[in-house]
Structure 1
């Protein structure tokens, strides 16, 4: 009898504790789904929409009738914000400038110490970001710079030649079919974007004949982007599953990509360090090496490992994200041919056919610029932004957010908010134009590059590349369907760290 009573008591205590665990949450925390052992609330997100977790989180927000929800990703408390004004508040408040130590960020560094820029916080992050941006600006990063614009024009000229004449080297067969006029996206645009970026960083470009390693870098970059998700996948919850299901968990593909990217940049930097001459400043990298050689405290962060990771972080968008965003623009241009024709009319009127479009033309081409902005709104490249972390106890929308809570400002929700956009589901570039057909920046409430101190450092570079490549392509070609082709299916786009289309071939026709 006593044994039975003890078993009953233990069972009751176990059930009670389990119940408390499932529904328990910090006092004043936003409403949200229960949590399960190991998974937290992550399993509910997968069940609602396993492919697009940002849409799953928005569905939960509507279910709980709250613009902010609280959930758990494994052991990590997470607050997901869907209100546009509060999203902007999070991005501009330095209290939320922390970065969570998710496994996805830790796996990038062999020493298991989070370095670089994306996933760093505190004094080291501020120091590194300030130094890199300050000196990269001297080489054309983040501002108008004639030399850089000339480089981009040369890269676009090479790109057009590759389209018209087909592959000249073996590795170019991955970009364009023999005979030309048929390109693979999103891979195709990235080498030319990457080369333009590299000209800023180390004042050199990779010749077409030597692009094989660069193309491989881009492929692995896309592989890394596609095999993560908004919340770091199950690897962030249960890192040990990489030992049991290395393939299914995505670990193998991310690790393979991570190792190649790290090796690519470490070899590159080591060559630069070995050839460094303090009497001759060749480029930005020499400025960083000069800082490394000073007698600075170890915690300053100016060392080889930080150098590699910081350079990866500043280069990653240029060799993956720009080409992906351009490919998303192509998808919409193919789905909305009337938009394509209107842009081409604007190009013909402003630029003509005797030269490439340049950045001086941009202010005279409001519809083209509006189309690019509308694509970045409706197809948010980084739907959940890079996760933030509360650096102290704080409050959002009347709810308590404890220190170290992961805070996700949903850029996707902001860009699809009817209170801001009226008809957000419609692709309508005109929403950014005034009554006279001019670009009205006051109407652009979108934040495709984030905001605040965590604003994407490459925003100016990316916007310039998007305009120059989009207009150069439409000046010269039409996007058409070859036999067997079909229009893009947006529902097949991947949701990883960024939104990317699946690999697809596009037919071009000379205008």
Structure 2
């Protein structure tokens, strides 16, 4: 009895978990080694069990860019048991993602699949299911009238300006108000309603959503060793994911109860209408399918678009000449009452658009994009990719490649403008939304949201860093997106 007590006190639950994890990792490594395809793609030395995972910085895109200088633009690494190929130049990315149909399939990141399932996912589903869902969502977004969207964006921009104005130019965290405005645009699209900014449940939802996005990154080891999801290591991630799913489930349940086929209010109603037209009674599978698509639209859209606007404001505080140039452009146009449609924003505000593009190039909200998965033999630049390997496109490296960008580390919106500065000129190396058939489905919504909200708030306020604060870093914090480190601004009314 005493021996049992001694052993029980020594084997704490935490230690037992560690031992079990270590044993499982070893088994996974052995099995993966037996079944994996040997690759001769150049890359850094791999360590037993964890491969290169322990050598990769949280900002993995920076690590991969450094390795590319040593091993070449196509590098092979190992994350846990998984073969991973990283493409660090535009030529290899185009070859892999666009030519011959490209690598279309996406892998199932272990943590996200365990938390949300992949059924109905816009981002992670493959094959015919993915094609059907993507076409369906694109059709919904196309049918969502532009006049309705500009009205929605103008209203939310006004609410955001009202909230910022309440601080009377005092130091404030502008990121949460921006996130609420962006989220409300997506709430209207997905749920048919918005939330007031002082709604405690709404604030809690967005706080949890931000924490969820920052808790893991695209190269987090848990994606490659999915059993870790069920261990204490990812208990916080589990709780945050459950909270998001519960919120979405509540919205879906309310829509099922109040559904009227004559009055399709939003994306959830559109999904329910699709089920009815296919003679399917909405059930648990319907809820799973809708939940996953809505999570991708709402959560991913809020995270990435908010980050882009946060970066935009941060860059305005550091590049005041560009902030003044945007203000002058918007002032000149609005004096003539010409910003009545989304098209007018794109046509009449070339410098504002160019500045946004330069922010996206410099900041790289999604520096590695979303990975693809090799499902058939493919060879790039003489390298045969291992079957089932993950493939990342290092967009950050492309956006800082001096082959395409003169002075790539400098912030120069003019690089996207014609000589007379009247026309926006893009570059084939500008790919913040990805390439190929799996590029971002919400690109137009995101860009419209950014240009309308940014032009409105910059017209109303001068943004600067409080005198008592240190100069903020322009090196982001990597999670599911690359966001700026926390910073405060003084939004001084003009």
For the criterion TM > 0.5, the same-fold answer is yes
Aligned to 1:399: 383
Aligned to 2:53: 42
Aligned to 2:473: 489
Change (3 A) 1:129 1:408: same
What do the CA deviations read for 1:90-136 (whole angstroms, capped 9, x no partner)?
33254411111221221222xx5555221111111111111222123
CA contact (8 A) 2:339 2:345 kept: no
Change (3 A) 1:136 1:367: closer
Change (3 A) 1:444 1:95: closer
1:293 Cα deviation from its structure 2 partner: 4.0
CA–CA distance in structure 2, aligned partners of residues 199 and 318 of structure 1: 13
CA–CA distance in structure 2, aligned partners of residues 358 and 135 of structure 1: 19
Does 1:230 find its partner at 2:225? no
CA–CA distance in structure 1, aligned partners of residues 123 and 338 of structure 2: 38
What do the CA deviations read for 1:318-342 (whole angstroms, capped 9, x no partner)?
3222111111111111111121122
3-state SS of the aligned residue for 1:436? Answer: coil
CA–CA distance in structure 2, aligned partners of residues 290 and 507 of structure 1: 47
Q: Which deviates the most, 52-61 or 351-360?
A: 351-360
CA–CA distance in structure 2, aligned partners of residues 213 and 457 of structure 1: 28
CA–CA distance in structure 2, aligned partners of residues 378 and 43 of structure 1: 27
3-state SS of the aligned residue for 2:271? Answer: helix
Q: Decide which of 329, 342, 347 is 1:346's aligned counterpart.
A: 329
1:297 Cα deviation from its structure 2 partner: 8.7
CA–CA distance in structure 2, aligned partners of residues 38 and 402 of structure 1: 18
CA–CA distance in structure 2, aligned partners of residues 413 and 455 of structure 1: 18
Q: Decide which of 8, 30, 53 is 2:41's aligned counterpart.
A: 30
Change (3 A) 1:227 1:332: same
3-state SS of the aligned residue for 1:420? Answer: coil
CA–CA distance in structure 2, aligned partners of residues 481 and 416 of structure 1: 26
Question: TM-score, normalized by length of structure 2?
Answer: 0.86
Aligned to 2:76: 70
CA contact (8 A) 1:334 1:487 kept: no
CA contact (8 A) 1:106 1:114 kept: no
Question: TM-score, normalized by length of structure 1?
Answer: 0.83
Change (3 A) 1:342 1:235: same
1:499 Cα deviation from its structure 2 partner: 0.6
CA–CA distance in structure 2, aligned partners of residues 278 and 336 of structure 1: 50
Does 1:187 find its partner at 2:176? yes
CA contact (8 A) 1:190 1:218 kept: yes
Aligned to 1:159: 160
Aligned to 1:289: 272
CA–CA distance in structure 2, aligned partners of residues 221 and 84 of structure 1: 32
Unmatched runs of 5 consecutive residues or more in structure 2? 1-28
CA–CA distance in structure 2, aligned partners of residues 488 and 442 of structure 1: 29
1:354 Cα deviation from its structure 2 partner: 7.9
CA–CA distance in structure 2, aligned partners of residues 114 and 206 of structure 1: 28
1:322-333 to structure 2, matched below 5 A, reads: 322-333=305-316
Aligned to 2:62: 55
3-state SS of the aligned residue for 1:79? Answer: strand
Aligned residue-pair number: 460
Aligned to 2:202: 214
3-state SS of the aligned residue for 1:407? Answer: strand
3-state SS of the aligned residue for 2:115? Answer: coil
CA–CA distance in structure 2, aligned partners of residues 370 and 503 of structure 1: 25
Change (3 A) 1:239 1:478: same
CA–CA distance in structure 2, aligned partners of residues 259 and 478 of structure 1: 39
1:180 Cα deviation from its structure 2 partner: 6.5
3-state SS of the aligned residue for 2:176? Answer: coil
Change (3 A) 1:158 1:181: farther
1:230 Cα deviation from its structure 2 partner: 2.5
CA–CA distance in structure 2, aligned partners of residues 217 and 89 of structure 1: 40
RMSD of equivalent CA atoms: 2.8
Q: Decide which of 413, 426, 442 is 2:397's aligned counterpart.
A: 413
Change (3 A) 1:467 1:444: farther
CA–CA distance in structure 2, aligned partners of residues 301 and 263 of structure 1: 14
Does 1:131 find its partner at 2:139? no
Change (3 A) 1:344 1:277: closer
What do the CA deviations read for 1:239-293 (whole angstroms, capped 9, x no partner)?
455566x3xx4x1332222111111111000110112234544444223113334
Q: Decide which of 245, 268, 273 is 2:251's aligned counterpart.
A: 268
Change (3 A) 1:354 1:51: same
CA–CA distance in structure 2, aligned partners of residues 163 and 447 of structure 1: 32
